[in-house]
Structure 1
Amino acid sequence: MIKAVVFDFDGLILDTETPWYDAFSEIYKEHGAELPIELWGLGVGTSSEHFDPYAYLAECTGSEVDKKQIDELFWVKHGKLMESEKVRPGVVEYLRDARKLGLRIGLASSSPRSWIEKYLRQHGLFEWFEVIKTADDVSRIKPDPELYTAAAAELGVKPEEAVAFEDSPNGTRAAKSAGMYCVIVPNRLTSMLTFDEYDLRISSMAELPLAEVMGRFGN
Structure 2
Amino acid sequence: MNLVVTDANLESRFGLKALIFDFDGLIMDTETPWYYAFKDIYQEHGIELSLELWSKNVGTSFDEFNPYVYLETSIQKPLDHGHIKRLSEEKYATYLGEAQLLPGVLTLLEAAKLRGLRIGLASSSTRDWVHKYLKEQGIFSYFDVIHTADDVKRVKPDPELYTLTLEKLGAAARETLVFEDSPNGLKAAKAAGIRCVVVPNDVTRNLEFLAHDWMVASLEEIDLGVF
Calculate the TM-score normalised by the size of structure 2: 0.91
Using the TM superposition, give the Cα deviation of residue 60 of structure 1 relative to its aligned residue in structure 2, in angstroms: 2.0
Aligned residue in 1 for 2:169 = 155
Aligned residue in 2 for 1:176 = 190
8 A Cα contact 2:22 2:122, kept in partner: yes
Aligned partner of 1:69 among 83, 108, 114: 83
Structure 2 residue runs of 5 or longer lacking an equivalent are 1-14
Structure 1 residue runs of 5 or longer lacking an equivalent are 215-219
- What is the CA–CA distance in structure 1 between the aligned matches of 2:46 and 2:66, rounded to whole Å? 18
- The yes-or-no answer on 1:102 pairing with 2:116 is yes
Using the TM superposition, give the Cα deviation of residue 81 of structure 1 relative to its aligned residue in structure 2, in angstroms: 1.7
- What is the CA–CA distance in structure 1 between the aligned matches of 2:147 and 2:187, rounded to whole Å? 17
Aligned residue in 1 for 2:159 = 145
Aligned residue in 2 for 1:23 = 37
- What is the CA–CA distance in structure 2 between the aligned matches of 1:85 and 1:204, rounded to whole Å? 17
Q: Out of 80-89 and 178-187, give the one that drifted further.
A: 80-89
- The yes-or-no answer on 1:207 pairing with 2:184 is no
- What is the CA–CA distance in structure 2 between the aligned matches of 1:59 and 1:136, rounded to whole Å? 29
- What is the CA–CA distance in structure 2 between the aligned matches of 1:211 and 1:24, rounded to whole Å? 41
Q: Deviations over 1:4-48 (max 9, x none)?
A: 000000110001101110100011111111111111111111110
Aligned partner of 1:124 among 138, 152, 173: 138
Matched to 1:167, the amino acid is D
- What is the CA–CA distance in structure 2 between the aligned matches of 1:130 and 1:85, rounded to whole Å? 23
Aligned residue in 1 for 2:209 = 195
Q: Out of 61-70 and 143-152, give the one that drifted further.
A: 61-70
Matched to 2:119, the amino acid is I
**What is the number of residues matched between the two proteins?**
213
Query: Matched residues, percent identical?
Result: 50
Using the TM superposition, give the Cα deviation of residue 194 of structure 1 relative to its aligned residue in structure 2, in angstroms: 1.6
Matched to 1:122, the amino acid is E
Matched to 1:77, the amino acid is K
Give the match's secondary structure for 1:45: coil
- What is the CA–CA distance in structure 2 between the aligned matches of 1:193 and 1:84, rounded to whole Å? 27
User: Post-superposition, which runs of at least 4 consecutive aligned residues in structure 1 deviate over 2 A?
Assistant: 207-212
Matched to 2:159, the amino acid is P
- What is the CA–CA distance in structure 1 between the aligned matches of 2:219 and 2:112, rounded to whole Å? 12
Aligned residue in 1 for 2:22 = 8
Aligned residue in 2 for 1:46 = 60
Calculate the TM-score normalised by the size of structure 1: 0.94
Using the TM superposition, give the Cα deviation of residue 210 of structure 1 relative to its aligned residue in structure 2, in angstroms: 3.0
- The yes-or-no answer on 1:185 pairing with 2:199 is yes
Matched to 1:196, the amino acid is L
